Structure 1
Amino acid sequence: MWRLLENESFSQAGLQRRYRQAEQLLLWEKAGWTKSDLSLMTNKALQSSDFLIGSQAFMDLWQSLYALKEPRQLLQIVLAMAEMPKELSGSKGEVQEILAKFSPNLSPDSSFWKEFAGLVQVTFLGERLSAKGDLEKRLHQFRYVISCQQAQWVRDYYKKRGMTDAQALAKYFKLKKRKTWYRRAYDFDLSESARLHNKLAFHEGEIIHPDNQEGANLKIVMGFHTEFILDHQGRFLNEIDPELRLQNGIINGASFNYASKNDHRHRQLDISPVSRHDPQFRKTVLKQGFLAPKLVPRPILKKAPSDWQTSYFNKQGFYAQTGLSKYKAVKQAAKAFKELIANA
Structure 2
Amino acid sequence: MWRILKSYPFSRSGLQQRYQQAKQLLLWEKAGWSREELKQIAQRDLRPLDFSIGSPVFNLLWQRAYKLKDPQQLLTIVLDMSAMPQELSGHLEENQKLVQGFSDDLAPDSAFWHELAVLVQQVFPQDRMSQKDLLAKRVHQFRYIISSQQAQYIRKHYRKEGMADDQALALFLKTKKGKVCYRKTYDYSLFESARLHNKAALIDGKMTYPDQDYCFNFKILLHFHTEFILDNKGRFLNETDAEVFHLNGVINGASFNYANQGDKRHWELDVDPAACHDPVFRNKAVSNDQQKFISPKWIKRKNQAKSDKEWQESYFNKKGLYAYQGKSSFKQVKSLARRFKREIRKSKSQ
TM-score > 0.5, shorter chain as reference: yes
The CA deviation string for residues 186-237 of structure 1, in whole angstroms up to 9 with x for no partner, is 1110021111100111123121111122132010000110000000000000
**Which SS does the other structure have where 2:189 is aligned?**
coil
**Which SS does the other structure have where 1:171 is aligned?**
helix
User: Judging changes above 3 Å, is the alpha-carbon distance between structure 1 residues 6 and 193 closer, same or farther for their aligned structure 2 residues?
Assistant: closer
Aligned counterpart, 1:300: 303
User: Judging changes above 3 Å, is the alpha-carbon distance between structure 1 residues 334 and 6 closer, same or farther for their aligned structure 2 residues?
Assistant: closer
Matches within 5 A, 1:310-325: 310-325=313-328
CA contact (8 A) 1:154 1:169 kept: yes
Q: CA deviation at 1:45?
A: 3.7
Provide runs of 4+ in structure 1 moved above 4 Å. Answer: 6-9
Matches within 5 A, 1:1-344: 1-5=1-5, 7-47=7-47, 49-287=49-287, 288-344=291-347
Q: CA deviation at 1:46?
A: 4.2
Q: TM-score normalized by structure 1?
A: 0.97
Quick one: which amino acid aligns to residue 322 of structure 1? Q
Quick one: which amino acid aligns to residue 319 of structure 1? Y
Q: TM-score normalized by structure 2?
A: 0.95
User: Judging changes above 3 Å, is the alpha-carbon distance between structure 1 residues 49 and 340 closer, same or farther for their aligned structure 2 residues?
Assistant: farther
The CA deviation string for residues 32-68 of structure 1, in whole angstroms up to 9 with x for no partner, is 1111111211112443552110011111110111000
Q: CA deviation at 1:325?
A: 1.0
% identical equivalent positions: 53
Q: In 2, Cα distance between the equivalents of 1:54 and 1:18?
A: 24
Q: Which runs of no fewer than 5 residues in structure 2 stay unpaired?
A: none
The CA deviation string for residues 94-146 of structure 1, in whole angstroms up to 9 with x for no partner, is 11111111101100000000000110001001111111122111111100000
Q: Which runs of no fewer than 5 residues in structure 1 stay unpaired?
A: none
User: Judging changes above 3 Å, is the alpha-carbon distance between structure 1 residues 49 and 297 closer, same or farther for their aligned structure 2 residues?
Assistant: farther
* RMSD over aligned Cα atoms: 1.3
CA contact (8 A) 2:48 2:57 kept: no
Quick one: which amino acid aligns to residue 336 of structure 1? R
Q: In 2, Cα distance between the equivalents of 1:342 and 1:49?
A: 41
